[in-house]
Structure 1
Amino acid sequence: MTDSSSHNVQLTKKFENGVYFTCEKCGSCCRGFKEGEVYLYQDDIKRLAEHLKVKGTSGLRDFAKKYLKVVNDSFFLKEPSAERGKTYRFKSLGFKFAGEDEHCQFLKDSRCTIHEARPFQCRAFPIGWNMLINNIKNFKDYSKRCLALQNSLENKGKFYSREEIILWATKEYEMEKEYFFEMRRNDFNIFNVYPFLSKDMLEKKP
């Protein structure tokens, strides 16, 4: 869930002056998605479609059926004139995962095959993830399976300044906010926002 006040990026004390991070290219962050999703936004889909040479509505529909799924999302918004905010719940798009290890379908031999066109969420890891840079417990939990994050905790790797972190984290928030308002303009109907989706892509409740 995203909070409408999260554009005021808060950094945990460990990272208030910056963070060290260099990807080890191990593919660990591309596996084990039972605990979360890789959300996709309109710019992500356009970039992927261009990279994979997907053309036309039928091409997008086939691409969506093979690689995407409809997932739950939420956004907290407090209108300027309102005394209290409200949490809105709606649908978003995310990657489908494969195998017992829940890996990204574009991961081959621990390498990303769409690296140049990868989604913003992947590009922004970890410095653009508000849930990591403002919560040291979350960061340490993720580091248990990511050597690069372990190195970050030991101040090893490329240095990203406080300003760079805030820039990435703010962009994450702005993308989520833009999608929320687009959904609200379309009565929270994801099929109006993405007309190439098939109705049978809605997750079936157990």
Structure 2
Amino acid sequence: MMNDFYENGLNFTCQRCSGCCRHEPGYVFLSEEDVKKMCKRLDLSRKKFIKKYCKVADLIGVKRLSLIEKPNNDCIFWDNGCTVYEARPLQCKSFPFWAHNLINEESWASVVESCPGAGQGELRSKDEIDKWLDKRLDEPFINPK
């Protein structure tokens, strides 16, 4: 259970800066639902999509399917904006409402410092934020074998 520091909600409106999609290495973990939506959007079979756009991330022995990045660490689907926006993964849709960003006020303050949309704009209710957290828990990431 998350700390209730956001009992009264948190402000966030995406500014479309693409800062969360670019410049730094990271992982975009995929669920089965993410893969299905992206395959449909790109008109690719699951096998071709995974071969062309995915890698296996090994996080201390736990393997997860993740999108690959461009050599400059931009998301593979970033090109002056998200080229698969309508089918973007849940991890992308739910940013910045990720569990590690909502541990306490300090973790949220770190997001506010790095994301121009965090801490301003639309007030997101505790219920809405908790729904994002629950949805991420309910849609397990793919564990490639």
* Coarse TM-score class (shorter-chain normalised): 0.7 to 0.9
Which of 25, 37, 46 does residue 16 from structure 2 map onto? 25
- Residues 12 and 136 of structure 1 are in contact (CA less than 8 Å); yes or no, is this contact kept in structure 2? no
Q: Of the two structures, which has the highest relative contact order with CA contacts closer than 8 Å and spacing of 6 or more? A: 2
Matches within 5 A, 1:120-131: 120-127=90-97, 129-131=98-100
Alpha carbons of structure 1 residues 47 and 148: separation in structure 2 relative to 1, 3 Å = same
1:70: which partner in 2? 56
- Residues 96 and 111 of structure 2 are in contact (CA less than 8 Å); yes or no, is this contact kept in structure 1? no
CA distance in 2, matches of 1:99, 1:43: 27
CA distance in 2, matches of 1:91, 1:160: 33
Q: Say which one has the larger Rg.
A: 1
The CA deviation at 1:12 is 5.2
Which of 136, 141, 146 does residue 110 from structure 2 map onto? 141
TM-score by length of 1: 0.63
Indicate the SS of the match to 1:39.
coil
Is residue 2:135 matched to residue 1:171?
yes
5+ residue gaps in structure 2?
none
CA deviation digits over 1:68-117, x for unaligned, max 9?
Answer: 1001247xxxxxxxxxxxxxx421100111132x10011111x1111100
CA distance in 1, matches of 2:99, 2:128: 13
Task: Give the total of aligned pairs.
Answer: 145
TM-score by length of 2: 0.87
